[in-house]
Amino acid sequence: MSAEIHDHDRGLSFDLPTLHRRKMIRLLAGVSLAPLAACTGDGSDTASSSSSPSSSSSAAASSGTSDASCETIPGETAGPFPGDGSNGVNVLKESGVVREDITSSFGSAGGKAEGIPLTITLTVVDAASGCGTPKEGAAVYIWQCDREGNYSLYSEGVTEENYLRGVQETDSKGQVTFTSIFPGCYPGRWPHIHFEVYGSLEDATNATSITATSQLALPEEVCDTVYATDGYDSSVQNLGRLSLESDNIFSDGYDQQMATVEGSVAKGYTATLTVPV
């Protein structure tokens, strides 16, 4: 059974300050926030939304130059399936969670998520320095649904699995790279990937002191292509009922959260995003 529809929030006290901050920034600036994303990976196809990250912003972040328009990544709810202990289940303290390949479960679980390969690279940078300084030694916890729209640890049939969850420490470039699969689209939510940034790997594996919680959005053109393949059947109908503007997370803006995606069904895809914190 695919993930049930939830309000994906922590209550009014969490959502209002976040939404108010982001909308006020747009009102004061008179324009939408400048998008930011790293541009890496090789592939035959490239796709992003009309408000996808510009190459100049990406180059500035990856080369270490500052950008006066830099803003911290928009804060979002962790949703009902975090696995960081905030909703009961805590996978972060388990041996084996620190890993690059998150397609398979670890520990006593033995399941594997099937789907079109997706390599995810997040570049964590210091917003206070204009996004010019990589955050080396930070940590990123990433989690997502499988191609059927199920979340390990929570969804019926995969409660004993912990695949599509993992933690890594950022390198000297502020980067972490995960080997995963392209997530499905379940009812009520635009295709996305969750992530949390921690100050250190120790903080992450102790599930304490979260620096940022946000979500990565995936471009519609790529989603349409992937969902036409075997195993993603339900995603076609679910995506057809949604838009980024109607999604309850991305409807107030997704400039900084839209990943740059390259690749093909045959060779797999890469998704890259710069994460200012």
Topology given in CATH for the domain delimited by 117-276: Protocatechuate 3,4-Dioxygenase, subunit A (2.60.130)
Using one digit for the tens of pLDDT, what is the confidence trace for 202-226?
999 999 999 999 999 999 999 999 9
CA 153, CA 256: separation in Å to the nearest integer? 29
Q: What is the predicted pLDDT for the residue at 65?
A: 40
Higher pLDDT, 125 or 39: 125
**Residue scoring higher pLDDT (61 or 272):** 272
pLDDT tens across 66-95, in order?
A: 455 699 999 999 999 999 999 999 999 999
Q: What is the pTM of this model?
A: 0.79
Given pLDDT bands bounded at 50, 70 and 90, which one contains residue 2?
A: low
Cβ atoms < 10 Å from Cβ of 156: 10
Please write the tens of the pLDDT for every residue from 167-205.
999 999 999 999 999 999 999 999 999 999 999 999 999
The predicted pLDDT at position 3 comes to 61
Per-residue model confidence as pLDDT tens digits over 6-58: 444 433 333 334 434 344 333 333 333 333 333 333 333 444 433 333 333 33
Per-domain residue ranges of the chain: 117-276
